[in-house]
Amino acid sequence: MIVGDLLTLEDLHIELAWGTAELLDRQVTGVTSTDLRDPARYLQAGELVLSGLVWWRPDDASAALRFATALRSAGVAALLAGEGTHGAVPESLVAACRLHGIPLLSVPAATSFRAVTDRVYLRLWGDLQAGRPGVAAIPETVRRELLALLAPLPAGAPLDEVLAHAVTRLGLPDCSIRTTGGRPLACSTDAPGAPVGSPVPIGGPGDCPFDGWLLQPHAAGASPALLHGLADLLAPLAVAARVAAEDRQYRAAELLARLGQDGADLSDSLAAAGLPVGTQLVPVRACCGDGPAVGALADALEGVPFAVAADGAGGAVALVAAEPAAVAARLRAAAPRLREVLTDRRPLRFGVGPAAAALPERLRGALVQAAFALEAGGEAGVGSSAELGSLAALLRGVPAEVTSAFQDRLLAPLADHDREHSVSLLDTLRCFLDHDASWSRTAEALHVHVNTVHYRIRRIEDLTGRSLSRLEDRLDLRAALLCGPLAA
């Protein structure tokens, strides 16, 4: 594919703002979206660069030149400038691109960057895969049929339909497509059999272990050449999905950055991130050791409107347009299959906050609760602020260093006593509190005389300096028992 091919895609309405015939013959290797002022470090030679020009300001005369200089240093093929932000491509950017010899194409506001990206990758993979051995095993007529079904993206035929057509025309057994995280994407039949053999990767591995695609046959006897050929033809869909996910993360990061501004109107940022405007949102936090928390959270939430990005501390944060209970249920259902991908046993945990209005100050408070729910944990490693209904649940969210120090201050004398004596005062205290400070029921549970219970409780009070006749002291000691190893 060359840069000039973009001008032949009539449905995208891309026009030439500046460029010579020689420059339009440049080969294209890929496409990336950015609105950074200096994106050079994130670009590859031969790429098309899509930019909404958010970085450009009329009062900054050097902005366009700096941006074009960064593109030239990276050796990009061309710049595609969106007209949605400023209504037209700025003349200063045209001049900067002319100076540095960078073809400049304009993208009208009505054409989405996602549509441009999908068409580019479909064209690239259609060109590059035609001569590969696996694709060569597919009859040319079938290859053309499948490419016709795939284009134009993203308005092409549903993936189920494409897959069903492919297995029928190629004589393959029923197949399914899933993510490397285990999420089903498509199946050629409503009643697939059990997977047979190893799946075939589609589109190559991604940067995240959860975002790859796999083609899985459900019966023996499938031709490996045909399976790999079909995977190559489907590769543009997998690549486009990864690019779209990266773009969504970029928009989500912009939205989350605006949460630091009290009173900010989030409408534009919400719409750009794919979230509905005027509805409550549920914040979610995720951590995966030093692993890919963003990818895990995105895979788990797919199917409901959400925006997810890195939190800057090794984890991920998302805003979801759904009810908190539904979000928690979705995460619990996805957690087992996601953990199977983490072969190094990194812990994967989620925290769900309460629904909040789409206002910076409201969402910030809800995010704090989501972070606490993450630390508190819960069923399947998913904590929810709505489920923090007990002292034990509340304490699980307190940092271990704090709970350990609190427990040591209150219970260290009892622990020291128990190490030197056969009678456990800690067990007596726990039993006494479990039985609502009832002397008789505690004696019955411990199989001792009630006078023995009285003696042990007095000893506990002497060692701790607390009175078990006072509710406040009983609560303090109960909390200490629930902290750390002694709670087991």
**What is the per-residue pLDDT for 134?**
52
81: burial class by Cβ within 10 Å (0-12, 13-18, 19+)?
Answer: buried
* Cβ neighbourhood burial of 91 (10 Å; 0-12, 13-18, 19+): exposed
CA 454 to chain centre: 56
Confidence at 387, pLDDT banded by 50, 70, 90: confident
pLDDT per residue over 1-31, tens digit each? 899 999 998 888 999 999 999 999 999 988 8
pLDDT of residue 206: 65
pLDDT at residue 67, rounded to an integer: 95
**What integer pLDDT is reported at residue 390 of this predicted model?**
67
pLDDT of 42 reads 81
Q: What is the mean pLDDT of residues 189-204?
A: 84
pLDDT number for residue 92:
94
Q: In the prediction, which pLDDT does 153 show?
A: 45
For 198, other C-beta atoms within 10 Å of its C-beta total: 9
CB 425 within 8 Å of CB 458: no
- pLDDT, tens only, 288-308: 876 688 889 999 999 899 999
pLDDT tens digits, residue range 29-57? Answer: 888 888 888 888 888 899 999 999 989 98
Contact 244, 117 (CB under 8 A): yes
Query: Residue 383: in which H helix or E strand, if any?
Result: strand 382-384
Give the torsion sign (CA, 285, 291, 294, 295): negative
Q: Identify the CA nearest to 80 among candidates 13, 138, 174.
A: 13
Q: Does the bond joining 217 to the residue before it have cis omega, within 30 degrees of 0? A: no
Does residue 136 surpass a pLDDT of 70? no
Q: Give the CA distances from residue 318 to residues 63, 199, 264, 295, 337, in Å, rounded to whole numbers and listed in that order.
A: 32, 31, 19, 11, 20
User: What is the pLDDT, as a whole number, of residue 461?
Assistant: 92
> With bands split at pLDDT 50, 70 and 90, how would you rate the model's confidence at 69?
very high
Task: Please say if the pLDDT value at position 473 is more than 70.
Answer: yes
pLDDT at 154: 47
Return d(Cα 26, Cα 170) in angstroms, integer: 36
d(Cα 321, Cα 308) in Å, to the nearest integer? 12
Residues 6+ apart with CB under 8 A from 448: none
Dist. CA 373–CA 384, nearest whole Å? 5
First to last CA, the chain: 64
CA distances from 49 to 32, 66, 110, 279, 403 (A): 5, 15, 18, 34, 51
Nearest 5°: the CA angle 38, 49, 135 is 140
Q: How confident is the model at residue 258 (pLDDT cuts 50, 70, 90)?
A: confident
Is residue 253 within 8 Å of 246, Cβ to Cβ? no
Q: Is 61 a residue whose pLDDT tops 50?
A: yes
Q: What are the backbone dihedrals phi and psi of residue 212, each rounded to the nearest 5 degrees, phi first?
A: -75, 165
- Label residue 85 exposed, middle or buried (CB < 10 Å: 0-12, 13-18, 19+): middle
**pLDDT over 70 (residue 268):** yes
Burial code (b: 16+ CB inside 10 Å, e: under 16) for 341-372 equals bbeeeeebbbbbbbbbebbbebbeebbebbbb
User: For 206-216, how does the pLDDT look when each residue is reduced to its tens digit (9 = 90+)?
Assistant: 667 888 899 99
- State how far the Cα of 239 lies from the Cα of 242, in Å rounded to an integer: 5
Q: What is the pLDDT of residues 424-437, one digit of tens each?
A: 999 999 999 999 89
Q: Which DSSP string corresponds to 202-268?
A: ES---SSTTS-EEEEESSS---HHHHHHHHHHHHHHHHHHHHHHHHHHHHHHHHHHHTTSTT---HH
Which one has a higher pLDDT value, 172 or 119?
A: 172
Q: Residue 102: what residue type?
A: I
Q: Where are the alpha helices (DSSP H) in 101-203?
A: 113-129, 133-136, 140-150, 159-170
Residue 398: pLDDT above 90? no
- CA atoms of 43 and 54, how far apart (whole Å): 18
Asked whether 81 and 53 are in contact (CB, 8 A), the reply is yes
Residue spans of alpha helices (H) in 435-470: 439-446, 450-464
For residue range 307-334, what is the model confidence (pLDDT) as tens digits?
998 887 788 999 999 999 999 999 999 9
Best CA proximity match to 111, nearest among 171, 154, 47, 73: 154
Percent of the chain with pLDDT over 70: 91
Q: Rounded mean pLDDT of the chain? A: 86
Is the pLDDT score of 486 beyond 70? no
Q: State residue 377's pLDDT score.
A: 76
- Residue 284 bridge partners (DSSP): 318, 352
pLDDT, residue 125, reads 58
Q: Given pLDDT bands bounded at 50, 70 and 90, which one contains residue 233?
A: confident
Token reading at 206: 């991604």
Write down the pLDDT at residue 240: 77
Share of the chain above pLDDT 90, in %: 40
- Kindly tell me if the per-residue pLDDT of 128 is higher than 90: no
So what's the pLDDT on residue 290? Answer: 62
What contacts 211, CB < 8 A, 6 or more positions away?
A: 179, 180, 181, 241, 242, 245, 295, 298, 299
Write down the pLDDT at residue 235: 82
Stated length of the chain? 488
If 0-12 CB within 10 Å is exposed, 13-18 middle and 19+ buried, where does residue 141 land?
Answer: exposed
- Whether 122 has a pLDDT exceeding 70, the answer reads no
Among 106-110, 238-242, 243-247, 393-397, the range scoring the smallest mean pLDDT is: 393-397
pLDDT above 60 (res 255): yes
Is residue 91's pLDDT more than 60? yes
